[in-house]
């Protein structure tokens, strides 16, 4: 090889390595991108998210999309009041991929997205630990937890920001994800309360389920935190594979 040929090979290799490091993912076929200036932009985004549902259900590892069935939550620890401490771990949520979008509002100037979703039926299972008082009753124990919730509404407020990654590519990341949920109906079962003291356990479970809305007032903030955290993580991993202009052409 001549010196020139060697140099050419070297340059080609270098260029390939550099491009390789900076390459963005191409937008996958299943992610339908909407032109920001188009009329009915928000309707287009709604349709695009609806088209994603089957992929969210099973997950797409190549695009860092985890399966939402089940959705796995991080450990939830909180003291909703000073007379109660609760922990829940290994929580699985079933049915989260069956959401319906009620409303979507995209403010691309301030990067604030409001998304209202309806979930007709979700179920959860996992493990709990609880100590203190709930609905004026003493409660204490640890064990398996399960529950069903129907007619749920989730209102999400998502705040993002534009930033340049280490390769100088402009992207978007989520800096705040707040979900408020309201549960229409539901029931919950805490197994093995009071070290398996069945009668006491049944009394407390009945009290909770007979006063479900009151109970949810204490429990919702924990669930909201865990769900917001999980969705922020999922959404952030997906959007950071693409540039801002890939996701929002015309913005
Ligand atoms: C949730 O629903 C399932 C299926 O209908 C039922 O088997 C289970 O007992 C319910 N659990 C609670 C805590 O209501």
Is the C-alpha dihedral spanning 64, 58, 176, 114 positive or negative?
positive
pLDDT at 222 over 60: yes
User: What ligand 1 atom has the least distance to the C-alpha of 146?
Assistant: 13
How large is the average pLDDT for residues 173-198?
Answer: 96
Backbone angle region of 90, left / alpha / beta, with phi > 0 → left and psi within -120 to 50 → alpha: left
Cα–Cα dist 231/93, whole Å: 12
The pLDDT of residue 223 is 85
Whether the CB of 188 sits within 6 Å of ligand 1: yes
Among 13-17, 46-50, 125-129, 136-140, name the one with the lowest average pLDDT. Answer: 13-17
Decide whether any atom of ligand 1 lies within 6 Å of the 243 Cβ: no
What pLDDT sits at residue 219?
Answer: 83
* Average pLDDT value for residue range 139-161: 97
205 lines ligand 1 (CB under 6 A): no
Task: Find where tokens 């932009």 sit.
Answer: 41
pLDDT higher for 142 or 17? Answer: 142
- Give me the CATH number covering residue 50: 3.15.10.30
Q: How many residues does the chain have?
A: 251
Cα–Cα dist 129/14, whole Å = 56
For residue 90, the model assigns a pLDDT of 95
H or E stretch at 54:
helix 41-58
208 CB within 6 A, ligand 1? no
* Ligand 1 and 189: CB distance under 6 A: yes
The whole-number pLDDT of residue 143 equals 98
User: What atom of ligand 1 comes closest to residue 148's alpha carbon?
Assistant: 1
Is residue 219 within 8 A of residue 212, CB to CB? The reply is no
Q: Which residue range is the domain that position 33 belongs to?
A: 3-247
Q: How far apart (Å, rounded) are the C-alpha atoms in residues 237 and 131?
A: 36
pLDDT of 21: 44
Report the domain count for the chain: 1
Give the CA distances from residue 69 to residues 58, 92, 133, 166, 246, in Å, rounded to whole numbers and listed in that order: 7, 8, 33, 33, 28
- Ligand 1: residue of 187, 188, 191, 215 to mutate (most ligand atoms within 8 A of CB) is 187
Residue 116 near residue 155, CB atoms below 8 Å: yes
What is the structure's pLDDT at 209? 96
């Amino acid at each position: 090889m001549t010196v020139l040929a060697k140099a050419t090979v070297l340059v080609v290799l270098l260029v390939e390595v550099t491009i390789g490091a900076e390459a963005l993912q191409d937008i996958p076929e299943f992610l339908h991108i909407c032109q920001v200036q188009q009329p009915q932009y928000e309707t287009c985004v709604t349709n695009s998210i609806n088209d994603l549902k089957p992929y969210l259900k099973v997950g797409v590892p190549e695009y860092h999309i985890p399966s939402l069935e089940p959705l796995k939550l991080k450990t939830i620890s909180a003291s909703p009041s000073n007379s109660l401490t609760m922990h829940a771990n290994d929580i699985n949520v079933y049915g989260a991929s069956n959401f319906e979008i009620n409303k979507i509002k995209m403010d691309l100037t301030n990067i604030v997205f409001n998304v209202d979703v309806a979930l007709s039926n979700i179920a959860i299972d996992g493990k709990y630990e609880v100590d203190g008082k709930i609905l004026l009753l003493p409660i204490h124990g640890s064990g398996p937890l399960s529950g069903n919730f129907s007619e749920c509404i989730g209102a999400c407020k998502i705040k993002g920001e534009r930033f340049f990654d280490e390769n100088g590519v402009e992207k978007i990341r989520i800096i705040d994800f707040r979900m408020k949920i309201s549960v229409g109906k539901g029931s919950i079962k805490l197994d093995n309360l009071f070290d398996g003291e069945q009668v006491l356990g049944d009394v407390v479970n009945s009290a909770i389920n007979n006063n479900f809305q009151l109970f949810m007032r204490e429990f919702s903030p924990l669930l909201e935190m865990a769900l917001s955290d999980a969705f922020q993580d999922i959404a952030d991993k997906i959007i950071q594979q693409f540039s801002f202009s890939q996701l929002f052409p015309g913005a």
